[in-house]
Amino acid sequence: MIRAIWDNLKGLYSLLVGMKITLIFLFSPQKTVHYPRKTVERENLITYRGPLELTRGKTDPAVTRCISCQMCVKACPGHCLTVVKNPEKSVKAPIEWKYDFTLCCLCGACVETCPTSALAFSHRIYLVARTREELIFDLLADLKARVEETPVLPGEEGASAEAAQG
Ligand code: SF4
Ligand code: SF4
């Protein structure tokens, strides 16, 4: 009899602990969004690792910072990267930059290895594809398209104007 009462009390305590946790999360700020009615704010994607992209050039944003050194290619454990040097030796920028996202484990070795900070993880969280080929990216074309779409990034307007004046 005493044992049954004790077991019931333990069960009640466990239930109350569970209810307490439920109530805490019920009234906490929501951490997820109801996609597609809402999307994740840009500032919440800072640490998100989406597929790689080439960073904008320093003088001309449409020109990659990549100097075709191949260090990222050698560091990549998934063999996802193909960087083709320009046959013209005086030109360091590559003529082809292919990235197979289907093989990428997003480890970041390429980003960390790059001596010119030419690579970064994108914040593309709504990426969809119907074939594997759609996930093999031409990063030079991607950089050009991004710069054409957004010539100046938000927050860089002032810096661009100062650079133009100076
Ligand atoms: S994140 Fe890792 S697996 Fe993906 S391309 Fe870079 S080095 Fe390769
Ligand atoms: S490590 Fe950087 S500079 Fe070298 S090939 Fe890769 S992206 Fe280009």
| pLDDT, tens digit (0-9, with 9 covering 90-100), for 1-20 | 888 999 999 999 999 999 99
Name the residue of 52, 119, 140 to mutate for ligand 2: max ligand atoms within 8 A of Cβ: 119
CA angle 71, 75, 81 (to 5 degrees): 80
Domain count, the chain: 1
- Residue 112: inside a domain: yes
Query: What CATH number corresponds to the domain at position 130?
Result: 3.30.70.3270
- Residue 45: inside a domain: no
For the entire predicted model, the pTM comes to: 0.78
- Residue 68: inside a domain: yes
Q: Which atom of ligand 1 is nearest to the CA of 108?
A: 1
- Residue 21: inside a domain: no
DSSP bridge pairs for 137: 99
- Residue 62: inside a domain: yes
- Residue 60: inside a domain: yes
Closest C-alpha to ligand 1, atom 7: 76
Pairing of β 136-138 and β 96-100: antiparallel
| pLDDT, tens digit (0-9, with 9 covering 90-100), for 63-94 | 999 999 999 999 999 999 999 999 998 999 99
Question: Residue 88's domain spans which residues?
Answer: 51-148
